[in-house]
Amino acid sequence: MEHPALLIIDMQNDFVREGARLSVAQARAVIPKIQDVLGYFREKNLPVFHILRIHRRDGADVEITRRVLFFQHPFAVEGTPGAQEIEKLAPLPGEYVIEKTRMSAFIGTELDLMLRSLGITELVVTGVQTPNCIRTTVFDAIAYNYPVILVDDATGAQSDEIHRANVRDMANIGVQIMTAQAFITLQQ
């Protein structure tokens, strides 16, 4: 890797906390693996991007397919505990926080500009949820010509079947798939 950056996607209380209405089934299981990769990036002083879905209180910025859900049970609302990243992965000073309102971390955000400004040449992707925010971000990263490493055991979905199918699709477009341990070992 020449100039990698780590993306931690949607590891927020509303998607991770047990009992949260939109809790992703595999979210809590991937936390230790994300911590391993995050630890490596912090140790090497490499850029870390915390990608957070944040919505206005009135839901005006929620995508059309999720509006009914949002109005029934608001999620990731700005300024609420549910929108905050879980404590175990909270940003440190010098790490970047990118707020998004869509599944892809690239749509309507400054992510691409920040990556290019920092000279980033490769993305390492972790977080939830595999078929939605992970997959759309990865596909957009490829469209923007960023090579991507998907950390398989540091990403999760509602079931292993859903996760595996989406990982297979990403591998088929040229995304490198690795475990957290394999990624860290390869860097040493």
CATH of the domain at 169: 3.40.50.850
For position 1, what pLDDT does the model report? 55
12 contacts 53 by C-beta, under 8 angstroms: yes
Give the Cβ contact number of residue 135 at 10 Å: 22
* CB contact set of 94 (below 8 Å; sequence gap of 6+): none
Residue 188 is predicted with a pLDDT of 79
The pLDDT score that the predictor gives to residue 21 is: 82
Is 158 in contact with 129 (CB distance < 8 Å)? yes
Provide the residue type at 81 as one letter.
Answer: P
> Residue 75 sits in which domain range?
4-187
Q: For each of the chain's 188 residues, which pLDDT tens digit applies? A: 589 999 999 999 999 999 998 999 999 999 999 999 999 999 999 999 999 999 999 999 999 999 999 999 999 999 999 999 999 999 999 999 999 999 999 999 999 999 999 999 999 999 999 999 999 999 999 999 999 999 999 999 999 999 999 999 999 999 999 999 999 999 87
Cα–Cα distances in angstroms (integers) from residue 18 to residues 27, 149, 177, in the given order: 9, 28, 28
pLDDT for the residue numbered 39? 98
Query: d(Cα 115, Cα 111) in Å, to the nearest integer?
Result: 6
R_g over Cα of the chain: 15
Number of domains forming the structure of the chain: 1
Q: Which residues of 117-130 are buried (b: 16+ CB within 10 A; e: fewer)?
A: eeebebbbbbbbbb
SS3 92: coil
